[in-house]
Amino acid sequence: MLVFSSKLKSKVLQRIILASTQEEVATDELQEVMESEGFSLVLYNDEHNTFDHVIDMLIAVCGHDAIQAEQCALLVHFKGKCTVLSGTYDELEPKCTKLLDADLTADIEA
């Protein structure tokens, strides 16, 4: 069995507490960022999806009306990408997953 001096025990405990506190602060900061409205769901151009499919998915997943979905599809086609929705990470993540599952190319950007 190892025996440590009380001074060494104190230093080890201080480091553990400091590390734990730093981890909690980092976790809190990450949670705050994830809950901020500073995220964008970005749709990228591809060579295999039709305009109709993209428009249908934007209506179904993002809640766009037909005109807004068509405008986004045209921007994606001509500009290569378009922000289709903004919000918190937690709001956008399931929508991004649905777009990816529909074979669209999408990502969440800060």
Cα separation, 63 vs 58, whole angstroms: 7
pLDDT confidence of 10, banded at 50, 70, 90? confident
pTM: 0.69
CATH of domain 39-109: 3.30.1390.10
Nearest to 86 by CA among 45, 36, 32: 36
pLDDT > 60? residue 34: no
Domain residues of the chain, as ranges? 1-34, 39-109
Residue 29 vs residue 86, higher pLDDT: 86
What is the model's pLDDT at position 15?
A: 75
User: Following DSSP, what letter does each residue of 3-67 receive, concatenated?
Assistant: ---HHHHHHHHHHHHHHHHHHHHHHHHHHHHHTSS-EEEEEE--SS--HHHHHHHHHHHH---HH
pLDDT on residue 3: 57
